[in-house]
Amino acid sequence: MTGPRVLFDLPGPRARRRQRIGSLLGIVLVLLLVGLALWRLGANGQLEVERWAILFDPATNVPQRLLEALGNTLQVAAVGMLAATVLGALLAVGRLSEHVWVRIPVVSVIEFFRAVPLLVLILFCFLFLPQVGVSLSAFGALALGLTLYNMAVLAEIIRAGILSVERGQSESAYALGLRKWQVMSFVLVPQAVRRMLPVLVAQLVVLLKDSSLGFIVGYMELLRTSRSLVETLNFSFGPRYTFQLYVAAGLIYILVNVLLSQLAKYIERRTSRNAKTAGTTKVELPADSSAVTGLGTDPLRV
């Protein structure tokens, strides 16, 4: 179905009037709810300008701390993404291998890490690894947990990307006398990467969101920093700035992620009209949530 238009007739003048009245009522209702929330906030004194000003006043050190926290969040996400992409590519190649003794362990690694909650993996790196002699900072535990989980997800994305390159491409490459590794690195991967780019950026959004789990292991990312700011400020002023700081952290997340999502959409539009991807077939690449093989593919990220 190509759009919502198939489901209903284009509205005539009377239907349009009815819709406008309905829309207006709906908007009024939403505005009423928002107004009610704002009124309660105001009644509790949460809307005082002075309470929000702290977010922008460098003298209080709050904007610097938040900026630093955003830096930490982006840092752990970048490390996780890089490591996960490299390992994911290796796993994907392993899964596409012709040798059963390579494929079976690789498949079990991928399936295992996709079926276990990310938080459990992070806790494993944080609590268990130090006991067996691998001591990790909160940053290390978070980055390693994110890497382990996302390498499995990315392996599936990359595998699907490589499989989406039409068979004629590799067949003609073999016919030209290229070796297996040459076919992979000169023919399949360059074409697959263009197809995968939007999904990879989308996965980066997921990873960035997941880095907020650092809150639980005590890594100073955005959420944890707001928490600690709230605690220090509560110490001197009482619970005055709690709500404002959490709202700020939430808004920063939404802003960064919306920007990244838009980037993914932009790349998708660009690649879809790029002649260089013509050799790939249009298939949905799997994303984060498709937990186990045989589940089909899934354009959604959870």
Partner 1 sequence: MSFLADNFSLLRDAFLTTLSLAVVSGIVALVLGTVLAAMRVSPIPALRALATFYVETFRNTPLTVVFFFLAFGIVYIDLQFPSRFITAVAALSLYTAAFVCEAVRSGINAVPPGQAEAARALGLDFRQSLSTVVLPQAFRTVVPPLGNVWIALAKNTSIAAGFAVTDLTAVLQRLANANADQLAMVFLAVVVAYLVITLSSAWVIGILERRLAITR
| Interface residue list for partner 1 (CB under 8 A) | 1-2, 4, 6-9, 11, 15, 19, 22-24, 26-27, 30, 36-37, 40-41, 44, 46, 115-120, 123-124, 127-128, 131, 205, 209-213, 215-216, 223, 242-243, 246-247, 249-250, 253-254, 257-258, 261, 288-292, 294-302
Q: What is the DSSP string of 194-219?
A: HHHHHHHHHHHHHHHHHGGGHHHHT-
Q: How far is the CB of 12 from partner 1 (least distance, A)?
A: 12
Q: Give 45 or 105: the residue with its C-beta nearer to partner 1.
A: 45
Supply the DSSP symbol for 38: H
Q: How far is the CB of 67 from partner 1 (least distance, A)?
A: 18
Helix axes 62-95, 222-237, angle to 10 degrees: 160
Q: Give 176 or 258: the residue with its C-beta nearer to partner 1.
A: 258
Instruction: For residues 176 and 168, give the distance between their C-alpha atoms in angstroms, rounded to a whole number.
Output: 12
Cβ(76)–Cβ(139) below 8 Å: yes
Q: How far is the CB of 110 from partner 1 (least distance, A)?
A: 13
Q: Give 156 or 188: the residue with its C-beta nearer to partner 1.
A: 156
Q: Give 24 or 176: the residue with its C-beta nearer to partner 1.
A: 24
Q: How far is the CB of 81 from partner 1 (least distance, A)?
A: 16
Q: Give 79 or 253: the residue with its C-beta nearer to partner 1.
A: 253
- Give long-range contacts, CB 8 A cutoff, 24+ apart: 186-192: 188/162, 189/162, 191/165, 191/276, 191/277, 191/279, 191/280, 192/158, 192/161, 192/162, 192/164, 192/165, 192/280
Q: How far is the CB of 176 from partner 1 (least distance, A)?
A: 38
Residues in the chain: 302
